[in-house]
Structure 1
Amino acid sequence: MLSLEELNRENIEGKQENPESDEQEILASFDFLTEILSRLPVKSLLRFKSVSKSWFSLICSPEFIKSHLSLSAKNNNTDYTNYRVMLRIAQPEFNLKDCSLKSLLHDESVIEESDLDYPMKDSSISFLIEGSVNGLICLVRGAEELVLWNPSIKTYKKLPVLRSKMRDSYRSTYGFGYDEIHDDYKVVCIISRLHDFKEVNMYSLKNNSWQKIDCPRNGARLINSGEFVNGRLHWAATADLGLERGWSITSFDLANEKWRKVERPCYREERDGVLVLGALGSNVSMICNNSTIQVDVWIMNEYGVKESWTKMFTINYTIRTLVDYLFSQFFCLSKRGEFLLRLESVFLICNPKDNSIRFPEYAEFSDGLLAEIYIESLVCPLSQNEPRTQQLR
């Protein structure tokens, strides 16, 4: 295959008679090449970076990376060809694996899993997956170490340590998302004690620094990691210490840094049920245990409109403990209209059309399972002037 430089040289040497026409043809050849490369998987593009300096510059350019990401998301929003499921398994030791989302959804006979090299692999200390956006994954270990990591290009960035006097003695809740208006990836850390918000800090990848921001005014306990939908992070919040009543949804806009309350559906009496938030595509979703053996699945079809909440499904499933339930997760809608979710350590694929449930072949995991879907992308958490030592081989 000819490199871009060779292609350009052949065009120039072969057609000196009409320079203006030559230039147009060279530009057309470049656009055609870009169009082809932007549709290839990440693994192929990583190999093609060594073809020539021109190819390297093109594939590493911010414009190409955004175009490739956009096409990958657009072309795979139904069959999820370029999406993978990352699994954090706690037993017998903390480890990360991943598998193809497409194979999980489509009941392929062989669902291949692979061990991952990751920044915290040499540690026996528990870590959490706090979210995934555009191929970047946020990992948090203890109160000190936060990492943004792209497993597709094996590159990670350790975030600066958040200096706070309250960090060790209070509870930290996180959220990770992308500010499209400012083209910036941001991590939010909320430091609280029970229902008392002490401090909120936000990390900007573009500025590589933390800054304090306004705390939410409503006193509530935020549960789990923030779910990123429509440029905002969303947390389930409760005003009750026993996690039994008073549930609400709190959101934070990454662009204008405003907190607000998102109306939840009227699903039963105010004091009944415990809700867990999720994201299905571009919609906020939630599951609510309305009894010990039933779980309702809801989706907000029009963002911010309370009346648009729709109950999609009721699952008859016995939850062992409240803690197991609180770590349940939503994942995605398939092209067949089914949705994938995890309850405790089991994956379920539910079909609202006939109220059926099926379990993927690769469904049983040990306790301590956390999972996150990510798209394979070229997005790099490092700036151009940062050393490339933060890469995994």
Structure 2
Amino acid sequence: MKFAALMRSAALVTAVALIPATTATMAQVDGRAGPEFAKLFAVFQRVKASYVEPVEDDVLIRGAIDGMLAALDPHSAYLDGGDLQRLETMIDGNYSGLGLSVVMEDGAVKVVSPFRGSPADNAGIKAGDFITHLDGTLIYGGSLDDAVAQMRGPSGTSIRLTIFRPGRDEPLEVEVTRGVIELEPVTHELGAGNIGVITVNEFSADVGADVFSAWQDIRKEAAGRVNGLVLDLRNNPGGSLDESVALADLFLTEGRIVSQRGRARGETILYDAETHYRGDMAEGVPVIVLINAGSASASEIVAGALQDHRRALVMGERSFGKGSVQSLLPLGPDAALKLTTARYFTPSGKSVQEGGIKPDIAVPQISDPDFALRQKYQTRESDLRGHLINEIGIKDEEMESDSIADPRFQLTADELKDQGVEDFQLHYAMETLRRTTASTVALRPAKR
């Protein structure tokens, strides 16, 4: 794979500072590590000599690398071959498949999120589902590359997925017809009452520019009279740090957007709003940012910045809680190391690691019939094995302190469907913008 393609691949990993790995840096090894390397080599030799079947060197070396990185945190990884190709394909789009973002978790293929409007989304596959069988064949314990390769295929062909959904007693059998997946990082619409909605599905290249273009289209359609804007970041797993800064900058005139702090030289960086850029593109327009447990990394940077500057009201559910930055370190022409190199902090100095972004107004997605079960078994950063610990040690029960039933959120999914409401969180955000004043929803920027 060309180095340029490797650079493009960075847009879909959860961060983005690209740091060249020099030969001198790679060669530096603490002298005290000598005995540990001796242990590793001794195990390698013993396995080669005594394992029940012959083992290729590359299998053992790759296993050692994967084990080394797995001991660090859930986000550091060695990428080569199919991993990099998959990232590049997702950046370029135009592939035939189901439209799923998946990860391997403890040997199981877990759905991070279905792309909106994709065959998987239309078939009802949800974030947090576990795929156990493909066309009746067990895939648990296999490789993620093999599972992804099986799910892809010519448009119009079908595949049967067996789904384990946490909270349900029986597995689900879902037949999905593959389609051509064209990734749309940014979509927009103008709703009743001249309320605009901009949905950001991922932070890939040019998202900041795409959101600005979407805003111009909304203004044109509304004849310049936009009464409110919903920025929907739900189920957005993140991506480019630079693009999250560019997006937040569209709504801020001054001040800190995010700070990045790491151990290595050059890893502590401050990102501020550029007052000479565009200023607040939606000045005077009330803004609501929608987040949920699937909003991670770059999404949390944007939500945290607009919340801390009191430019937008954050609504929905507590976000995923991924407050770390991964750098993509090239290791030759067709391999790279995705390594956690820093933590990031919101303008007020808060780390979102583990705790996530807490919405100003908690709004449950009660239009989802599985909402209660999904909440019970929801996975966030703090649930991942080996995750980085928040420096202030917040416990989950302290973050989820409000357990009082809210009378506004007591309707069932069927009752909402009868009212024509398929997405309650979005519906509630738009109704809030229609019924309140700009000063109530879009507070004035805090003086710093």
TM bin, normalised by shorter chain, reads under 0.3
More strand by share: 1
More helix by share: 2
TM norm structure 1: 0.25
TM norm structure 2: 0.23
